[in-house]
Structure 1
């Protein structure tokens, strides 16, 4: 199994896809229980949703499932949201609080370290390399981290999640023009709801790489799956067709700002 798929482009924008993979090696799959094998917490079809929306964009996609190891978590195991309910580097439970591992076969510290080396680290080495390459081309790079989630998950949050959840760690991870353009376009999208730095303000990837002063900007987009999926996580062509133009406009606006930022750099 190749843990990462990379498509290199010439745009200053990089799409990160840490949670669309469904590959689980046999030795790890054997540890999962029946609930875990459903892989329900996948960011289903997000790579298909974004395909072709920004010609020239680089994509870095993890092909392994987040139950193998979560590429959007701190490899040290530190929580993204201290004091709030969340899942860890190797989740013990799914988003509905159901155990996903066979009793007695939960990953231990040694197994976690092995998976960091085999999956988590290679994904981030690939992402770092593409950020460096794109920055060398333009003087700036923008990482747009692509995510999705079910709109109702009582274990993680109350009520119904907005359709567009934009995260910049409260403005720390990107130039304010990128943040403003993104959320303004989300708010202008008729029939969709949105929030900036709400329940999801950017995962470890966004916070790790977003260093505006160094010319690297990062922003996370968490879409609710009702915007592009139907029953049983099937890709809904009609819903996706309605959503894709809005995402395209957002990505093109970010790219334009990135080029402006590149021109402003000495």
Structure 2
């Protein structure tokens, strides 16, 4: 398996996240036990993953007031976690592998939800085609599961990274059809997910700098009505809003067209 070669070159943003505790099934810097017990009622794979010591927690603390640097290091940590998981998926019980990146500390005037948003979006889209799924949970934020049941709020913010269950996960992502289709067809053929773009946050951001992308997934109906979806960290819909405001509709329509123009036609796509 080729997977992605993570560059060992110095990163100018290194140090923006301080490693508090390396991967552990029972970290001491944060208390995960009661939360894991509560979450096991909502995720049928969590208990068997924990019992086989396949669930791990890596704890980071923000050590910079520079938002860009923190996002860059969170993105880098996500890449490391995903690439660690990829070769394990083919091993016995490998699909139960889950790595959780805990974020402590703060950046002035910016909440964790906003700090995680852009790295999460990029990582989710980069790794879904190879069957690695990212989530996003913010401390104290209530979520719902795929059956509409309320999930207890996490005591800390974190990005879960796990092997996708391609026979199950797409069903719970019906409201994000692009991601659902990608996961349903996911195959890890050893490709380098950064074959077309350098493996650094600045380059990833540059690919979308001039795109006015809406902050939420949406449906545009007949070019006049916008249905905006708000999701939990697991990709479940927690709210929908409908608007016909011309400015908002125009923004979303133009964003869709701009992204579509950059897409590679299916028949022209080649692995490199």
Q: With CA pairs under 8 Å and 6+ residues apart, which has the higher RCO, 1 or 2?
A: 1
Structure having the higher strand fraction is 2
TM-score (norm 1): 0.32
